[in-house]
């Protein structure tokens, strides 16, 4: 009993990044409030999917918020589905994802420029 009070595990802060296909940006949220962030950014119909075995998830929606710009991950289903709305990556630690890790798997898609020509 005394041992458990002395060596309580410390909770790690959550980290979160918004994926915005319209601006082709990944933005880290400082001190995220997860209860408010998911419905506000992704929507009430959002579902979470594990990115790995380290408490890292992505929240995705099937509701389109724009008709032109999308993103998807170079991973198996359901990650490879084009999402025409914002996404949210959440890391609970200690093996946090980073913006660089997200960029390594993320692909932007533009219906009017499918070849990616500038």
Is 2 among the domain residues? no
Is 84 among the domain residues? yes
Is 21 among the domain residues? yes
Sign of CA dihedral 90, 96, 102, 78: negative
Pairwise CA distance, residues 101 & 96, whole Å: 9
**What integer pLDDT is reported at residue 92 of this predicted model?**
87
Residue whose C-alpha is closest to residue 32's, from 90, 86, 87, 99:
90
**What integer pLDDT is reported at residue 4 of this predicted model?**
46
pTM of the shown model: 0.84
Is 6 among the domain residues? no
Residue numbers of the domain that contains 80? 12-113
Is 7 among the domain residues? no
Is 45 among the domain residues? yes
Is 118 among the domain residues? no
Q: Kindly report each contact of residues 60-67 with a partner whose C-beta sits within 8 Å and lies 24 or more positions away, as own/partner.
A: 60/87, 61/85, 61/86, 61/87, 66/21, 66/22, 67/111
The total domain count for the chain is: 1
Helices (H), the chain: 2-6, 34-41, 99-105
Give strand pairing partners of 87: 19
Per-residue pLDDT of the chain (118 residues; tens, 9 = 90+): 444 444 445 577 889 999 999 999 999 998 888 888 999 999 989 999 999 888 899 999 999 999 999 999 999 999 999 999 999 999 988 899 999 999 999 999 999 987 765 4
Pairwise CA distance, residues 46 & 88, whole Å: 10
Q: Is the peptide bond before 76 cis (omega within 30 degrees of 0)?
A: no
Is 34 among the domain residues? yes
């Amino acid at each position: 009993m005394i041992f458990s009070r002395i060596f309580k595990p410390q909770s790690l802060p959550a980290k979160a990044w918004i994926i915005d296909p319209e601006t082709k940006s990944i933005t880290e949220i400082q001190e995220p409030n997860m209860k408010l962030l998911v419905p506000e950014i992704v929507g009430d119909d959002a579902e979470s999917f594990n990115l790995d075995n380290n408490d890292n998830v992505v929240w995705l929606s099937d509701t389109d918020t724009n008709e032109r710009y999308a993103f998807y991950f170079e991973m198996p289903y359901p990650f490879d589905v084009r999402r025409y709305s914002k996404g949210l990556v959440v890391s609970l630690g200690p093996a946090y994802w980073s913006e660089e890790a997200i960029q390594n798997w993320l692909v932007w898609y533009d219906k009017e420029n499918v070849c990616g020509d500038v």
